Each structure stands twice: as structure tokens, then as C-alpha cells.
Chain A
Amino acid sequence: MIEIGWLVLALPLVAAAAGFALHRRARRGAAIVAVGALGLSTALSAVLAAGVLGQPERVVESAFTIARFGELRVQAGVRLDGLAVVVVVAVCVVALLVQLYSIAYLHDDNGYPCYAAEVSLFTGAMLIVVLAADLVMLVVGWEIMGICSYLLIGHYRDLPESRPAAVKAFLVTRVGDVGFLLGVLLLGVAAGTFGIGAVLANAGALPSATVTVACLLLLLGVAGKSAQFPLHTWLPDAMVGPTPISALIHAATMVAAGVYVVARLFPLFRVGPLPLAALGVLAAITMLLGALVALAQDDLKRVLAWSTVSQIAYMTGGLAVGVPAAAVFHLLAHAAFKALLFLAAGCVLHATGQSLMSRLGGLRQAMPLVFVTMTCGLAALAGLPPFAGFFSKEAVLGAAYETARGHGEGTPWVGWLVLVAGLLTVALTAAYATRLWLRTFFGAAREDTTPKQVSSLMLGSLVVLAVPTVVLGAIGLRSRWLAGWLDAPGVALRPEAVTTALSTVLGIAAIAAVVLAWRRAPDRDPIRPRPLLARAFYLDDVQDLLVVGPYRRFAAEIADYDTRVIDGAVEGYGTGAAVLSRRLSRLQTGNVQTYATVVLGAAVVLAVAAVLL
């Protein structure tokens, strides 16, 4: 079993190495290597899941040491438990579909072989994060994902916006990653080991202040990678990258990695109340922020990006109220329906060349399959029964309600906060989902040109993803299914009566409001977005003003100081020596009389001194 784990991890990495070594024009070879390796990984991951979930003794580990610094030991290893294998399957499936989809999407792109290798590397890195048995190994995977995200966002070389977007994505997440690394190092030094199993086992023995500080530091990294407030500014800009990348990295996997890590290390987060409380506050803010801004966007992909920010906040909300199983449930459902939505948006983009909703419309006749699948995705997003999003969202809201009433493990006020924010977000989510649906597929077709044909490979991916979007919700129904797999038996992931009623009412009301507004003025935006919302509360500009601008100026000043003052002192020393030597060399007049006079004078002085003293 453990060998299969190693293999699942190694295959995409080997494919990446092979892919980078391939010749630039070897499209066929690149596709075969990438898809083949990933297909194999996916199949093996299913075997792995069946194997691990089938046996009662869940946790399997295998590791070998790769570095020792004094007392600190770092190991490379694989740790299999229910959580890991479930997420591995999800990651592999989405990655495989994205790779297949990309073959068609990047059909006439010269950079495809490099792209495929980068996607393989990314998948390998994500699998490292999921399967890592050692915290430092997890950091390695975490950061490699970041660099792949950078490389892939900047894929469209000729697009001037892609460069700054890629740099911004990397730098904003790097700010978070400082905290993440410091947290990992703190845990390792305090616990004497970096092994995840050992650290979790000793969670109670460590000083709680240390664990709390470490968890807060880890949350910085989570905020960065998962695009939560205030480190969310990179995600909407990252949409300049190819759409399959947005589906894979910025919806289904990398942004969910933060949630996964917290779920993995949850015993540490339970030690003190502060980390989860902080997470709850961030979740509430981010949920509402993402949903409000999504309501005001014109670009299809940007709506989905802000939607991702908001939906991840649901997951972090689930963590904050002390029910990681609910968060993971939503992670899985979101991976399915958000990937579906992005890939469908890619089909729309590919077919019409447009991603601005003001230039789209009436596509439901021209692209029926895309229409149906995207409808499923949007319904799941809005949380309508019986789609997966309904059940996972209700699991989070139900958990928040239980915690608010004091029955759960988390702090009650956090539960109330997440519950209220969550319910409001339900309404907002339903609203922007409906708005997107109506503006894209209904109304009069804007452009005269008929949409291009979409390749069956791309459509096939949509259909495949539509299946879990519709039925995945069922895994939460029986407590020995998902809850059991995640080693949280007895946790109810079923919809709770009170919250379900409230959220359904809110959702339907929001949908109705948007539909009515649309009816009144079709082909016009049913929501009139204000600039404040459209510009995301000007947070980008605030970031530029407070961070980027001052940094540039400070850097220029320090460089100037270093050259003028410090180097100036050194150069001045040299010049000074030269000047002094010139002055002193005047003593060497060559005039013998002068020398004789000086010698006589000095002799007299010495004689007088000898007599007097």
C-alpha cells in the first residue's frame, strides 16, 4: 500500500522531468507523457483509497532521512490516512481532466510541451503537500506549487498583463509563506522533530503558547495560498493565465491546500482558542468580501475567481467552528463544481473569444452541452438541492449552528459569526450565480459571429465533472461514509433543519430578485455594480500604496545610502590616503640644506630635552 503511495507521488514528478527535457516541438510526446503519468496516478490513487479506507488501522507511514542539522532531522516520507487518500483522488481526477482538456485548449499554442511539464510538476507538488509525512517536505511541495503557479500564470508571453500578475501572485503568497515557514520551524524546533505524526502525537506536551504562535504563523501561509483576506489580491489578477490553469490551480487544488493543511494538523489548532477564532473572523470577512465583489464583476473568470475566494472562506469557516470534516466535504464538492465552471468558461472563451459578460448572451442554443453542465455547476455553487454544493454548504452551516449553540468543539461566538456571514453569503452567492447564468446564456446574442465549435475533448471533461457535481453530496449522508473516511465518525454532515430552511429561503429569494430584475430589463446587468464593489473596495490600490510603493522607494534609498555613504567612506579612505601622501611627499624636497637644517633642529630639541628631563 505504501509503495503505491510513493508511486502516485513520483509519477507526475518524473513526467515533469521528462517533459522539461523534451524538445520544444514534441507536442505528441509531451501530451502522452503528461496524460499517461497522470492517468496512471489517478488509477493508482483509486486503488490506494480503496485499500486504505478498507482497513481499520488507517494511518500508514514510511520515511527516510534526507537531512540532519544538529538535533533537527528532516525526512522525506509518505503518510497515508483517510483524509489524504480522499483528497489525492480528487486532485488526480481534476488534474487529469485538466491535462486532457488542455490538449485541445492549447491546440495551437507553441508553448504546450513546457506547459504540460509545468502542470505535471505542479500536480506532483500538490501531491507532496497532501501525502507529506514531514513538515519540511510539506513546505517543499507548498513552495513548488507557488513557483509553478507563477510560471503558468505568465504562460501567455505576449500578453503584457501576465507578467505583473504572475509576480504579484508569487509575492503575495510569499508574504504568507514567511509565516508558514516560521511556523513550521517553530514547531519542529519545539517538538524536536518535523515528522507530522510525531508532532501531532505530542501536541498536548508542547507549551500551548508555542503551539498557538506556530498556528497563527501557519495561518499566514494559509491566508496567502488560499487567497483569504488580506492576502487575496493576487487571485483575480491570476485569471490572465490559461483557463485550465485557473481551473486546476486557482480553484480546485492550490487554493484548497491551505484548508487541507489546517485539517491535517487540526489537533494543533485545537490547543488554544486563538488560532481558530482568528480564522473565523477572517473567514467571515472573506466570505462576504468575495461574494459582494463577485456580484460586481463583468469578466466571467473574475466572477469565478472572487467566487472562489468566497467559497474557500466557507471551508475555513468550517475549520474555525471546529468541524474539519465539513470543510473537507466542501473542499471536495467545490473542487468538482468550480473546476467544471472554469472549464466551461474556457469553452465559452474558446468558442466566442469573449469573456466579458456584457459581450456575451444567448448562448444556450449555440452551446447546449456547455449550457447544461454549467447550469449544474452554478446550481451547485448556489447551493441548490440535490447538487453537491447544497450538501457541503449545509454541512458547514449546520456545524456553525451547532457550535453557536454550544454543542460543538469550537467557540460559540465564532459559530454565530460564521453562521450569520454564511447565510448572507448564501443569498449573495445565489444572486451572482444567477446573474452569471442569465447574462451568459439568456437574452439576445451579442455578437454576429457564431461561436466556434468546441472540441469533444473539452466537452467530455465537462460531462465527467458534472457527475460528481450532481451526486457527490450523497457521501455526506451516511456517517460511515465521508465522515468515517475522515476519521470523524458521529459528525453529522447531513443538512440541519433550521439552517437548511433559512438558507433555502434566502437563496430562493435572491434568485427570484435577480430574475425579476432581469425580466424588467433583459440584456442589461440586473445588478448595477458600484465602483466600490467593482474595484474590490480598492484593496489593490491600498496594497500598492501601503506596501509596494514604499518598498520601492525604501529599496532605492538603501541602495543609494550603501553606495554613497558606506562605499563613499571606502573610496574616501583611498582618496584621502592619496592626498595625504602627496602632501607628505613635499617633505622630500631633495634639498640637502633643508634636510641638514631639520636634522640639526631635531638634534637641538633632543639635547635640550635630555638636559631638562
Chain B
Amino acid sequence: MTGVSVGQVLLVAVLVVPTLGAAALALLPERLDRAARLLGVIVSGLTLLISIGLLSGRSAGEDRDWVYVNAGWVPAVDLRFHLGVDGISLPLVVLTALLTFLCAVYSLHSVPAPGRAGTMLALVGVLEVGMIGTFLARDLLLFFLFFEIVLIPMYFLIAVWGGPGARHAATKFVLYTLLGSVLLLVGILTIYAGAGTLDMVELAERGGGAGIAPSTQTFAFAMVFGGLAVKSPLWPLHTWLPDAHTEAPTIGSVLLAGVLLKMGTYGIIRVGLSILPAGAQRLAPTMAVLAVTGIIVGVLCCYAQTDLKRLIAYSSVGHMGFVLLGVSTLTAAGVQAALLGNIAHGVITGLLFFCVGGLKDRFHTSVLADLGGGIGARLPRLGGVLTFAAIASLGLPGLAGFWGEAFAVAAAYRPAGGLARTPYVMLAVVAAVGAALAAAYFLRMLRMVVAGPASGTPRTSGGSGDSGGRPSVADVTLLEGLSWAPLAVLALVLGVFPALVLECSRPAVDLLVRVHSG
């Protein structure tokens, strides 16, 4: 075996560092709470640097993994420890590391009841390993393994640190996703039975479905897609999301919306599109219809919501609908729009949940009517960030969210060769209408929360106050600002210059889509 390169060290380190960090955090005694939070920041910061370092070794136009590790692990089930990073995986890995780091910084500011920051950050560390591992895995069983690792920490994050209905929401989340995982496993095993290998790179290289019969491919794709559709979430398999988001603590919501949802769509692209092209062709129109239904249902449901967190949860259903629409076109433009939409959604929705977390900390409610309006007058910086995040989320051109949505619609005008054009064009129009209607619910939210005089804000109990009997509630603190600012900046930078992400993934996407345009 040739010498180990720096890239390979980084590749393994990006998983090992959070694992060791999680172990250390779990072992820390409870009284060292402050130290635990700092350790969490250091470990996640280190992971972030490593993930950015993975960019090294990439040559321009590199369409395959530019660094990989392929070692035997469990030969009995043909499970190899095969990791790799390419243009599609890297932005998601960096996003994951960034959001985890910002969550750790946020934990310096506050940790919800019942405290125990060390345990919480340990769980976040395990979560991070699962998330990053999913994006780096190049062996189907390894992918499945990392995919599953995510469930247990998330369950505990929601159940222990969450709101009143947390147990129910967490159980629902785990069971529903587990059901999806069963389907995913069936699909993976079908691929193995048909092609004889679990290696994703090999399967993609073989092209044309790796020798699997088209009907088997369709079955496998249906299984894989069904399983991952729960995670994405695709309507109508989305109902776990509003409960999970509402009950989860801020950090949980940020990671759930920011990263976990991306794992589903990433899986569909990586496992479904590149390995099972015939199956994808057959089922792409179904995916498109369900995606656009999700967009419209999401928009309408959001308008009727009374709780801020639930509203943002439903908005995620809508956004992921655009991502899936882009994927269902089976074109390079569509997949690029989907990938960019993923990153943009992660950044913007992460920021939104951080803001809502800030509101909840101060006013102990996220119900719109209770918040009453006037946040912009009473806490101008918080109101400003919330307004910015809402505007970014409704897809205003010039900010990151626009590109994924607009170009999913554009890609649907010209879907891949084997797909019927007219239904896609109609779906594109409906999706565009949905994108416009998103403004309705966000502006309603801003009107009910941010606009209006300060007297509308809820009274907070305790302490001496101003003449209105309202104790002074702090505007955005330094730590909050530090954990939010990178996301706001990214939302703007990616909005103005999306090439930063697009150029990274373009060669890999072109390669991936080639099986569909023949």
C-alpha cells in the first residue's frame, strides 16, 4: 500500500475528531459545565477547519473523489470502510461542520433545561459523526450505518432538552424515520443482489444501472426513494417534521433543519440517480408531482400556522419540495439547483431557528399571537436579523434562497430526454406560484412579530422595568451575534455569488447526470 496522504488523514480525522470529542464530553463530570461548552467549541471548530481543509488536493474540473480511503472492515457482509470526498459531498460536509460549530458557540450563550451541557454536546458530536459520515460514505452499507447513527442522538436531544410534547415528537421522529430506513435497506440489498457489489463508486462507474435489470432498478429506486423521502421530507411523508421541530431545543432544530433534511435528498441523488438510472427515469415524474404538491401544501399550511416554529417547519417542507423538483428533472441544471438549494436552506433555516430560539429564550413562547408584534421596536437587532432571515427564506433574489428555487423551475422547463415535457412545465408554473405565495406567510409572520409598536411585545416577568412595566430584555448578545453572523453573511454572499458552491460541484454533477442524457 502506498503512503498515506494528507488528504486521507484529514478525511479520517473529520470523523475521528468529533468521535473523540464526544467521548471526552460524555466523560466530563457535570460540574465542569463551562469547560464542557468550551471543549465543544474547540472540537467542533477543529472539525470545521478540517472539513475546509478537505478542499485541498482538488484540481479544477475534478469530477470524481479527489481523496478517498478504502479499507476492508467487515468482509462477511462485504462492508468496506470506503470514504471519499467530491464536489457534491464537500459543500454539505462544510455546512454540517459549520452549523455544528455555531451550535457549540450558541451553547456558550445558553443551554435549555435541564442543562448538562457536556452530555448535550457529546450527543451533538455523535450526531455530527453520523451526518458527516453520510456525506462521505462510498459504500452503501457504510452509508446506511452512518444514516442510522443520527437517529439516537437526535431522539435524546429532542426528548430530554425539548419542550412539553418532546417525548411524543421524538418517538414519532425515530419510528417514522426507522420505517424509512427499512425501505432503504431493502433497496440497498436489492442493489447488492443485482450488481454484486456495495461500492458506490464502482456502481456509478459501471454506469447504465450497473447491470441490474430495469424492473429491478425501478423496485430498488422505489425502496430507496421511499425510505429517503421520509427524511427529505417529501409530502405526504412529512408529518413528523412539524412536531419534531416545535418540540426540539434550538440546537436540535438548527441541526435537524440544517443538515438532517439534506441527508435525504443527498441520498436520492447519490444512491438513486447515479446507481439506478432506469428506476429514476420511471419514478422521476412521481417525485416531481409529490415535490410540487409539497411546495403548495407547505405554503398553504404555513399561512394558517399559529406557532412560529411550526411555521418554519412547514416552510422547510416547501423548500425541500423545490430541491426534489430539481432532482426530478434528472438534468445537470436541476441537480445543481437542488444542491445549491440544500446549502441555502441549511444556512437560512438555521439562522431562522437561531432567531426563534432567541425569541423563545426571552419571551418563553413562540406562539405568534402571544409574541404580539413590536419586536422590531423593542429589540431592533433581533428584529432586523429575523426580518433578514425571513426575507431570505421567501426566496428574495439577491439572497441565497432564490437560486435553488428559480433554477429548479428553470430546469423543469427542459427535463432530461426520456421525460415528458408538458407535465414538467405545468409543475414548474405551479412551483413558481408557490414560491411567490411564500411571501404571504412570511410577511404575515413579520407583521405579527416584528412590526408595530413596542407595546405589543409580551410582558416578561420579574425585575424592575421601564414605565411600561416591561423589564429590559437584552437585544442580541455578543455570543448570539457570533453564532448567527456567519449564517447571515453566507446567505448574502451565496446570494450574490452562488458560483462559490456551484463551481465546486459542477464537474461531479455533470458526470453523475451523464447516465441520464444518453
Point out residues on A near B: beta carbons under 8 Å: 20, 24, 65-72, 76, 136, 139-140, 142-144, 147, 150, 154, 157-158, 160, 163-164, 166-167, 170-171, 174-175, 177-178, 181-182, 185-186, 188-189, 551-552, 554-556, 558-560, 562-563, 566-567, 570-571, 574
Contact = CB atoms under 8 A, between A and B. Distances in A.
Interface string B478-515: 00000000000000000011110011001000000000
Interface in B265-321: 297, 300-301, 303-305
Interface string B388-399: 000100001110
Nearest to A69: B333
B499 A143 contact: no
A20 to B, nearest CB: 8
B497 A66 contact: yes
A185 B443 contact: no
Contacts of B176: 570
Nearest to B404: A69
A558 B337 contact: no
Contacts of B498: 66-67
Best-buried of A69, A154, A556 by chain B (most CB within 10 Å): A69
B140 to A, nearest CB: 27
Given A157-B452, A167-B447, A566-B239, A555 B396 contact: no
Interface pairs A-B: 5 shortest CB-CB:
A70-B333, A70-B332, A559-B304, A567-B239, A140-B397
Given A157-B376, A178-B433, 15 more contacts: A65-B499, A67-B498, A69-B336, A69-B337, A72-B410, A142-B397, A143-B396, A143-B398, A158-B453, A167-B447, A189-B410, A552-B304, A559-B305, A562-B239, A571-B172
Contacts of B407: 69, 72
Interface of B: 172, 175-176, 236, 239-240, 297, 300-301, 303-305, 331-334, 336-337, 376-377, 380, 384, 391, 396-398, 402-403, 406-407, 409-411, 413-414, 428-429, 432-433, 435-436, 439-440, 443-444, 447, 451-453, 496-499, 502-503, 506
Contacts of B439: 170-171, 174
A177 B332 contact: no
A570 B172 contact: yes
Interface residues of chain B: helix, strand, loop or mixed (majority): helix
A555 B300 contact: yes
A558 B305 CA distance: 11
A560 B498 CA distance: 38
Contact of A144 (B333, B380, B396): B396
A167 B444 contact: yes
A343 B50 CA distance: 58
Contacts of A136: 397, 406
A337 B92 CA distance: 54
9 contacts: A65-B499, A67-B499, A69-B333, A72-B410, A158-B453, A160-B452, A182-B432, A186-B413, A552-B303
A66 B499 contact: yes
A552 B436 CA distance: 16
A408 to B, nearest CB: 35
Contacts of B447: 163-164, 167
A392 to B, nearest CB: 32
Contacts of B334: 70
A574 B176 CA distance: 10
B386 to A, nearest CB: 13
A268 B26 CA distance: 66
A175 B436 contact: yes
Given A67-B498, A570-B239, A182 B333 contact: no
Contacts of B384: 20
A352 to B, nearest CB: 25
